[in-house]
Amino acid sequence: MTNARDIVLGRVRDALALAPAGETAVPRAYRSGRTLPDEERLALFTDRLVDYKAQVHPCTADRTAEVVAQVLRDRGAARIGVPPGLDTGWLAAYDGEVRQDSADIPAPRLDALDGVVTASAVSCAETGTIFLDGSPDQGRRALSLVPDLHVCVVDLSTVEVGVPEAVARLVPERPTTLISGPSATSDIELERVEGVHGPRTLAVVIRTDV
């Protein structure tokens, strides 16, 4: 007796058999290589983040710990999670409980955290998108999705103008998470609901001199 899975896979095999042999060249004539001065790039990125209802906190690198701690205090975050490779200096002014994440911790247990602090890989100013690539200072995807607050530290030097420029800085083999504001969706009456698929609050600490 043939099941639905066999039918679908059979059709895929038939389609592949009929496909022309060899690789097909994909045209990539889109714009790339765009740049903007730091001030304009920061202004554009900030504008997009605010439009997505993210909180934006620009600061110099030497104030990272101070600003991160203030953001966490303002949100009442007494217990936070961090990826194993996060710069511990960023938490020097925070007096709450810090739990280092690991793959051995079941994802549901991350819900006990008040928030999470991570770094970032690259960002796109034009779309207000932050890319995480699973590096040690960013952690696994669950860590940035389960807690209700995500404090993400972004170096201005990693903010590119557009999507092509940002994607070019990524390592294709790494798992990539794209964040454009706090998690949000709309119900059938187009009422915005936040925190359904990820953090309800996204706070972006932009280090302007790094």
Residue-by-residue pLDDT tens, the chain, 210 positions: 568 999 999 999 999 888 888 888 888 888 889 999 999 999 999 999 999 999 999 999 999 999 999 999 999 999 999 999 999 999 999 999 999 999 999 999 999 999 999 999 999 999 999 999 999 999 999 999 999 999 999 999 999 999 999 999 999 999 999 999 887 777 777 777 777 778 999 999 999 999
Q: Is 121 exposed, middle or buried (0-12, 13-18, 19+ CB in 10 A)?
A: buried
Report the C-alpha gap between 198 and 182 in whole angstroms: 7
Please report the pLDDT score of residue 1 as a whole number.
Answer: 58
8 Å CB contact between 178 and 30: no
| Distance of alpha carbon 151 from alpha carbon 162, whole angstroms | 23
**What contacts 29, CB < 8 A, 6 or more positions away?**
none
Burial annotation 76-110 (CB, 10 A radius, 16+ → b, else e): ebeebbbbeebeeebbebbeeeeeebeeeeeeeeb
- In the chain the beta strands, taken as DSSP E runs, fall at 55-59, 79-82, 97-100, 115-118, 122-124, 129-132, 149-155, 159-160, 177-179, 184-186, 192-194, 201-207
